[in-house]
Amino acid sequence: MRHFVNIALLLCFATLATSGIMSYVLPFDIDTARVHIIFGLATLILIGLHLIGKGKYFKAVLSSKSKISLPKKNLVLIVVIWLALLIASLMNASPAKQIISQSYESRRAHEIVRTNPLMQSLNEKNIHNSTRLKENTEDKALAIHLNFNSELESAPAMAIWAESKAGTIIENIYLSPELAYSEEVSWNGKKTQRHKLLPIWRQRYTLLTGIDPDGELDLMSGATSSHTFSLEKYLKSDGDEYVVFVELKEEGFDSVIYSTYVDHSEKKQFRLLELTGSSLQTEGAPKGSLNYDTESIKNAPLDLGLVESQQ
């Protein structure tokens, strides 16, 4: 049993260390996180078995009468260091603060896009569903149902967001996971920039955060102080109306925009997403502007787009 535990612990530790380093230096990846959690639990169990086998050793080390007993000052020093690291980690103090500040998540915070924790999304073949729950409840407030053209060879790059009537992003509802953690992404096996796939969404996001795709401060934008924003106050019968946008990008085509107005004071529950425009740039048009000429659109990724709203 001792040899089994030692060898298994070595393998689990190596896997845990590798996945931990990957989580620190690379963008978040659900596969890496899953491996880290599973092998963390396995390592915890193996260490427990190892410690059970070392019961006599610990008893001897902590006994003042044993020849191998640990001096009290050394024991106190170990406990103090342990407590200091624990408190520093919980309080985000030195050295934990400096270590975490060098992680990918901290260094690329301006690039990372996370949806509201109350958002739930599901992708299946040729179908996408995103549901926004109400705060502190399990009630559905808003849902977007997309049925893609059956002729699509691969899933398109996609962003779904809500804007106020003034044209400011209220909340990101969905962003393709491959695009959520970096401006430089791999799409269909090719390295590209996020703003080249979803230029309309990325320009609107610049106006919100004040950070352009190159990571530079855009002084012309209306940046928020913390990048936090929410639909919550709009999801009421007396809330303001807003617009839901969907941007889709197929290989070889300009991205296409669908949209619809949502007003929770209205009795109707379902609204169709309408083809609104594309990212096709015309001469003299600002970067990331929406081209409303739907006649020039040669691709129609959606067979049906439906927005469901409930009070």
Query: Residue 39 and residue 202: Cα distance in Å, rounded?
Result: 37
What's the Rg (C-alpha) of the chain?
26
Answer whether 25's CB lies under 8 Å from 104's CB.
yes
Tell me, what's the pLDDT at 226?
Answer: 45
Segment among 60-69, 75-84, 147-156, 212-221 with least mean pLDDT = 212-221
Q: Using pLDDT thresholds of 50, 70 and 90, give the confidence band for residue 219.
A: low
Can you give the pLDDT at residue 218?
Answer: 63
Say yes or no to pLDDT of 158 above 80: yes
Residues 6+ apart with CB under 8 A from 302: 146, 147, 148, 149, 246, 248, 258, 273
Share of the chain above pLDDT 90, in %: 46
The pLDDT value given to residue 220 = 53
Q: Is residue 174 very low, low, confident or very high in pLDDT (cuts 50, 70, 90)? A: very high
pTM (two decimals): 0.78
Contact yes or no for 231/132 (Cβ under 8 A): yes
Q: Which pLDDT does position 15 carry in this prediction?
A: 96
For the cut 70, the answer to whether the pLDDT of residue 224 exceeds it is: no
Identify the pLDDT of residue 225.
44
If you average pLDDT over residues 89-110, what whole number do you get? 88
The pLDDT tens digits of the residues spanning 21-63 come to 999 998 878 889 999 999 999 999 998 888 887 777 777 777 7
What was the pLDDT predicted at 44? 93
Q: What residues contact residue 206 under an 8 Å CB cut-off, 6+ apart? A: 212, 213, 218, 221, 288
- Helical H segments across 26-117, by residue range: 30-53, 55-62, 72-91, 96-101, 104-107
